[in-house]
Structure 1
Amino acid sequence: MANIDISVVIPVYNSEECLEELAKRLTEVLEKTGLTYEIILVNDGSADNSWGKITDLCEIHSTVKGIKLRKNFGQDNAIIAGLNYATGASIIIMDDDLQHDPADIPALLDGLEQGYDVCYARFSIKKQTWFKNFGSWFNDKVANIVLKKPKGVYLSPYKAVKREVIDEIIKYDGPYPYVDGLLFRVTANITQVPVMHHERFAGKGNYNLRKSITVWLKLATNFSVFPLRIATYVGFLASCIGFLLAIFFIIQHFVVEGAPAGWASTIVSVLFLGGIQLISIGIIGEYLGRLFLQHSEAPQFVVENVVEK
């Protein structure tokens, strides 16, 4: 293993317009540290010319390594792929669009120097769409319950992690990795530093509703049985409501003239209970599906090519 001080791992998806400036700023910052470093760009099945840009950067910079995945596996899978190739004593994980300023890397590394295993970047104001902000907020609330995350810690995609922690989390071989969840499984020795969040340098963001739901499902079903417990509680509550309604209709039949409106109450009950049953079955199916894929050895990622100077 090479004697590298810092590895910067960046998942890349449809960001060809950002990569040249990203490599330039990273190089400027990392050169000033006086430490040895490598920049690992993981192309996660981009539809644009991101891989062409990465190969060009590898020819220019001896410190840049390009990894091409055979298809789009997802952000966390791409990060895990990069971590498997990282050799640094400290690892920086960041996005590819320069909303994470490379100039903040020394502050993150200082957090590790103070003895912490993980140092998150905390953004007071995030310059992104309201929908993405809402998704981040909701995911944070779920993490408080599922991961027992301290409420003051923000799960930022921009962070610094010690080598020993990385060595532990890459042991996870399931097909649905969630990096922050794995970090909290390994250590509670975590801090954060305040930094600025910036506008995307170029192009359009790739965040959408499907990705938001995917992140939530990874968090909820990979690290907790909490959703199953919710389904149990809701099922119990629905049973109680059904029992009370049955008593109400019986009393109404004997006390009030005329029988209760049968079709309306029946349809409401069927829709209510049927919806709960379908949600519960879906949650159970999500768990079973993930178990099936893990035991069938579905890959986290498949590397097509690795390029470096």
Structure 2
Amino acid sequence: MTEDAKPLISISVPVFNEEENVEQLYQRLSALADKMSDRCMFEFVFSDNHSSDETWSRLRHLAENDGRVRAIRFSKNFGFQNSILANYMHTRGDAVLQIDADLQDPPELLEEFFDLWQQGYQVVYGIRKGRKEGPFVNLFRKIGYWVIDKVSENPIPRDVGDFRLVDRRVIEAVSRSGQPNPYLRGIIAGMGFNQTGVAYDRDARTAGRSQFGTLRLVSLGLTAVLNHSTVPLRIATYTGLIIILGTVALTIFYLISKFLNPNLPPGFISIQLLILFGIGLNAFLLGIIGEYILRIYRTIRSDPIAIIEQSLNIKDGDLKL
């Protein structure tokens, strides 16, 4: 980018079965691009996680009428975080704004993100002050964010999703991370750089159904903990040590009791309970270790982030996957 040239801002949008929201999002992004045309240029980059509805057809229509719209479609669903990472790799902007297609995050907030980026912040993320969801879901999310932040090796901002503006240098660093099952919030938070947050109220979904249910939230939370914390492994070590010490103490207590009272009746039930407890504990600890071994295996296997089936307004030579 020359000194006098306007910076290029890439809008990164992962989509999956969002046929009801794609065109409305595009309209708001276009209006924002017109409003900020004196400060920057725009491109809109979509990654379609193999939608089964008309999402790709609508993206094709948009791309035919607007060269700023660029899109890739995967050969199957490779997961939300992989979709974001693949999208990042196909952006060209000096900075990239990540936003979901459901319009719960206001694209217009980019103006404030952009000003902070020009002030020298390499990462500007949205902090959700409030969100129009049920009280149980809100509480579940808050507890999840608190746990992830507490056990992670690097602090991860709370009440922060994937709505953020990221500098090109951060994008290049993320692309080299090489994690087969990434948790991008944790990766970006742990990279350092100059980061800041902007508080906002999250809107309700305008149309369609959320593709991110409770099970997927739990899965994403486990990925965050296992990818960015050694606490579960240490819990396994410390729990095993405590059980060993407790077993030794109980053995000493039993021997002393047997010496003082030779007629002490045998405790068949207590023995069975201890055996079952030991089996369950071993299975739990082995499960923790197995999760880490699975991640090592996936890293060694080097599966692709995603496989591109089709693209729009992107030349074959520019495809990164």
Contact 2:149-2:158 at 8 Å conserved across structures: no
Q: CA deviation at 1:73?
A: 1.0
Residues 237-257 of structure 1: CA deviation (Å, up to 9, x unaligned): 222232333334444445568
1:157 to 162, 173, 177: 162
> Paired residue for 2:140?
134
1:200 counterpart SS class: coil
Question: In terms of mean alpha carbon deviation, does 232-241 or 136-145 score higher?
Answer: 136-145
> Paired residue for 1:67?
72
Residues 77-132 of structure 1: CA deviation (Å, up to 9, x unaligned): 00011011000011101111000111111112222122111111111111234336
Equivalent position amino acid for 1:141 in 2: V
Q: Is the alpha carbon distance of 1:253 and 1:39 closer, same or farther for their aligned partners in structure 2, counting shifts above 3 Å?
A: same
Question: In terms of mean alpha carbon deviation, does 196-205 or 206-215 score higher?
Answer: 206-215
Equivalent position amino acid for 1:29 in 2: L
Q: What CA distance in whole angstroms lies between the structure 2 residues aligned with 1:239 and 1:70? A: 50
1:19 to 17, 22, 39: 22
Contact 1:181-1:223 at 8 Å conserved across structures: yes
1:17 counterpart SS class: coil
Q: What CA distance in whole angstroms lies between the structure 2 residues aligned with 1:289 and 1:170? A: 22
TM-score by length of 1: 0.91
Question: In terms of mean alpha carbon deviation, does 82-91 or 279-288 score higher?
Answer: 279-288
Residues 39-90 of structure 1: CA deviation (Å, up to 9, x unaligned): 1111112232222222122123221111101111111100011011000011
Q: What CA distance in whole angstroms lies between the structure 2 residues aligned with 1:258 and 1:52? A: 82
Contact 1:147-1:184 at 8 Å conserved across structures: no
Q: CA deviation at 1:170?
A: 0.6
Q: Is the alpha carbon distance of 1:131 and 1:154 closer, same or farther for their aligned partners in structure 2, counting shifts above 3 Å?
A: closer
> Paired residue for 2:90?
85
Contact 2:128-2:160 at 8 Å conserved across structures: no
Q: What CA distance in whole angstroms lies between the structure 1 residues aligned with 2:210 and 2:217? A: 13
Contact 2:132-2:204 at 8 Å conserved across structures: yes
TM-score by length of 2: 0.88
Contact 1:111-1:193 at 8 Å conserved across structures: no
Contact 1:19-1:54 at 8 Å conserved across structures: yes
Equivalent position amino acid for 1:274 in 2: I
Q: What CA distance in whole angstroms lies between the structure 1 residues aligned with 2:17 and 2:255? A: 63
| Count of aligned pairs between the two proteins | 308
Residues 150-180 of structure 1: CA deviation (Å, up to 9, x unaligned): 6x65432211111111111111223111111
Q: Percent identity?
A: 28
Equivalent position amino acid for 2:65 in 1: I
Contact 2:67-2:313 at 8 Å conserved across structures: yes
2:10 counterpart SS class: strand
1:303 to 283, 304, 308: 308
1:187 to 183, 187, 192: 192
> Paired residue for 1:145?
151
Q: What CA distance in whole angstroms lies between the structure 2 residues aligned with 1:260 and 1:39? A: 77
Question: In terms of mean alpha carbon deviation, does 124-133 or 293-302 score higher?
Answer: 124-133
Q: CA deviation at 1:24?
A: 0.6
Map 1:97-108 → 2, pairs under 5 A:
97-108=102-113
Q: What CA distance in whole angstroms lies between the structure 2 residues aligned with 1:281 and 1:135? A: 27
1:230 counterpart SS class: helix
Q: What CA distance in whole angstroms lies between the structure 1 residues aligned with 2:166 and 2:146? A: 20
Equivalent position amino acid for 2:17 in 1: N
> Paired residue for 2:217?
212
> Paired residue for 2:278?
273
1:39 counterpart SS class: strand
Q: Which runs of 5 or more structure 1 residues have no equivalent in the other structure?
A: none
> Paired residue for 1:5?
8
Equivalent position amino acid for 2:117 in 1: L
Structure 1 stretches of 4+ with a deviation exceeding 3 A read 247-261
> Paired residue for 2:99?
94
Q: What CA distance in whole angstroms lies between the structure 1 residues aligned with 2:104 and 2:26? A: 14
Equivalent position amino acid for 2:149 in 1: A
Tell me the C-alpha RMSD between the 2 structures.
2.3
Q: What CA distance in whole angstroms lies between the structure 2 residues aligned with 1:113 and 1:82? A: 23
Equivalent position amino acid for 1:148 in 2: N
Q: CA deviation at 1:188?
A: 4.5
Contact 1:42-1:78 at 8 Å conserved across structures: yes
Q: What CA distance in whole angstroms lies between the structure 2 residues aligned with 1:247 and 1:133? A: 45
Q: What CA distance in whole angstroms lies between the structure 1 residues aligned with 2:17 and 2:266? A: 58
